[in-house]
Amino acid sequence: MPSLIDIRRRIRSVKNTQQITKAMKMVSAAKLRRAQDRVIAARPYAQQLREMLANLAEEAASDERASESPWLVKREPRRIDLIFITSDKGLAGAFNSNLVKASQRFFAEHESAEITLTLVGRKGRDFYRRRGAKALAEYVNILGRPTYEDAQSIARKVSRRYRDVETDAVFLLNNEFKSVMAQRLSVMQLLPVEVNGEGEKQERPQGEYIYEQSPLDMLERLMPRYVEVAIFRAMLETVAAEHAARMTAMDKASTNAKEVIDTLTLNMNRIRQAAITKEIIEVVSGAAAAE
């Protein structure tokens, strides 16, 4: 049976841990509000741009030069670029482990393809570095406050590879923010853009867009911007989802710490009570023997 000193030390240690988890929860709650505002502001623009590009690609497909455009030619996905976004820090529950499992499922589903990774975030970078995976680029410590310039740097590499036929498809894997209690794994095909595919639930009527320039020329200009915006939005979604996951994990950790403290305090009181009872019995027994 542990001594009173050992139990007191354990209670003090758990209380210190509880203070840390409470502080981390408050920090994540404050950061989540800002990250959530940025996500909400970025979603409409990214969604409208994707819908417009799907419509534009459909119009451009009728152009006689369409067969020459790398953005419209669909190739068999023998070479795939996967942009894999995780967090730089842990202590966020199953946030990163779920992402890693999703990436492994992606590898299993495309086992016949050669997959090149663009790793954003320390956790994903460390996982695949230990396994010797093929990586195009690594980006760590940029998710503290992601900027559009960071997304541009990533997008330019993958866009150039797709345009120069060095890869056949580009996918994006990240966690999307839904609520404080829920995040959703997202695997999105960035390139080639799906015409009236998943995510384009409402088909736009003909004549809604009037193009002053050739749709194909506009597609050439807008496609790199679309990739940049999609990656930037995914980074913002991941940051918000990370803070939500950490906030939930730290709340559960604080609750568990309280339960441990209550259990240890109860055990300590029982030991103290047993020690006091034993001393009383010894005093009474000594007094009775002296009579």
What pLDDT digit, counting tens, does each position of 143-170 carry?
Answer: 888 899 999 999 999 999 998 889 999 9
Q: Does 79 share its domain with 124?
A: yes
Q: Note whether 191 and 86 are same-domain residues.
A: yes
CATH number for the domain that contains residue 282: 1.10.287.80
Give me the percent of the chain exceeding a pLDDT of 70: 92
Provide the domain count of the chain.
2
At 205 the pLDDT is: 45
pLDDT of residue 286: 79
Residue with the larger pLDDT of the pair 170 and 274: 170
Residue percentage of the chain with pLDDT more than 90: 45
Query: Same structural domain for residues 156 and 278?
Result: no
Q: What is the CATH number of the domain that holds 162?
A: 3.40.1380.10
The confidence band for 82, taking pLDDT boundaries of 50, 70 and 90, is very high
Q: Convert the pLDDT of each residue in 103-132 to its tens digit.
A: 999 999 999 999 999 999 999 999 999 988
pLDDT at 69: 75
Mean pLDDT of the residues in the chain:
86
Question: Model confidence over 167-210: pLDDT tens digits?
Answer: 999 999 999 988 888 788 999 998 887 655 444 444 444 446 67
Q: What is the pLDDT of residue 67?
A: 66
210 and 265 belong to one structural domain: no
Residue 167 sits in the same domain as residue 282: no
pLDDT at 178: 85
Distance CA 90, CA 108 (A): 26
Hey, what's the torsion of the CAs at 32, 34, 38, 39, to 10 degrees? 10
45 token code pair: 């623009």
* pTM over 0.85, yes/no: no
Angle of helix 4-60 versus helix 215-290 axis, rounded to 10: 170
CB neighbour class for 110 (10 Å; exposed up to 12, middle 13-18, buried from 19): middle
Domain extent for 279: 4-21+249-290
pLDDT score recorded for residue 232: 94
